[in-house]
Structure 1
Amino acid sequence: MTDLLKDALRKAAMFCAYQERTQQEVRNRLKEWGIYGDDAEEVIAELIQQNYLNEERFAQSFAGGKFRIKGWGKRKIKQHLQQRGITGYNLDQAMNGIAPDDYRTTLSELLDKKRRSLRDDNPLIIKQKLARYAFSKGYEPDLVWQVLENTD
């Protein structure tokens, strides 16, 4: 490994140690540093071997954080993970990491909080606004309507 690659590996290791990253994010950063092709893949392989880079860990951390902190639904989380190049097994593991009971409870709490902020007398308009809000957060329409029906 040349000195340039050793330096890139050291910088990439620090980049990954700061927070979880995807291979694509590291590849893009290496490109900014002028490391391309096989050299970039060699650095990425070394980061994976040293456990600085782990896409399953990234996917679970990302999904858990967006769900717990931002209240995102599975559809939105899945879309953002796919945009970051996470697919297949890692994507499934991230989605399975969200407990169904917690998921439904979080949706109910989000809708209750939103309902308190709405100022309208027409219950149909309120329900429509709540549904639109939940859809924008990435929740599945079937679940949203179920929760809205149960809270009347």
Structure 2
Amino acid sequence: MHTSPKQSITFTEAIKKMERYCAYQERCHKDIQDKLSTMRLIPEAREKIILHLLEHNFLNEERFAKSYARGKFSIKKWGKKRIIRELKYRGISEYNLKTALKEISEKDYLHTFHELAEKKYSTLKETDKNKKRKKLVDYLLYRGWETNLVYEKVNELIPF
């Protein structure tokens, strides 16, 4: 049932809609609040819906953080700094940040980093050594890899 922007949605419809929204993919509180703000509900109804989602395990911040960290690392090849920045932006607690990062093994982390750096290096067409270094550094830092790892690897691949 689609509602026009002016039409209200019932509390029960809103709950069902939010359950489906959460079941489709892990969500954080911020996602839920953003979605609820588009539904023209009174604040009390929004709070009750969030409580309902928490009580019925549709909304679980720790599970969201773990899933987010695993996904962004394995699919987008993000480093820990980028994952932390994005989770903080979503209002994830310090405890859940730490828990989420434990999902990534150090061995996989370093393996992925070296693979990513070498792959990017092989695609750089730049002939100027300094510009090539800068492009590789910028690429890896943007993806959230730690500065010490980045400079160590760039010095290994493109020595002065």
State yes or no: 1:72 paired with 2:70: no
Q: Across the two proteins, how many residue pairs are aligned to each other? A: 150
Provide the TM-score with structure 1 as the length reference.
0.88
Match for residue 88 of structure 1?
Answer: 94
Contact 1:131 1:144 in 2 (8 A): yes
Match for residue 4 of structure 2?
Answer: none
Cα deviation per residue 1:81-128 (whole Å; 9 max; x = unaligned)?
111121221111112211112111111111111111112444444333
- Unmatched segments (≥5 aa) in structure 1: none
Q: 1:5 aligns with which of 11, 20, 32?
A: 11
CA distance in 2, matches of 1:146, 1:98: 21
Percent of aligned positions that are identical: 37
State yes or no: 1:127 paired with 2:133: yes
State yes or no: 1:146 paired with 2:130: no
Contact 1:20 1:53 in 2 (8 A): yes
Q: Identify which range, 84-93 or 54-63, moves more after superposition.
A: 84-93
Contact 1:30 1:36 in 2 (8 A): no
Q: 1:45 to 1:105 in 2, by over 3 A?
A: same
State yes or no: 1:115 paired with 2:158: no
Provide the TM-score with structure 2 as the length reference.
0.84
- Unmatched segments (≥5 aa) in structure 2: 1-8
Match for residue 6 of structure 2?
Answer: none
Root-mean-square deviation over aligned CA pairs: 1.8
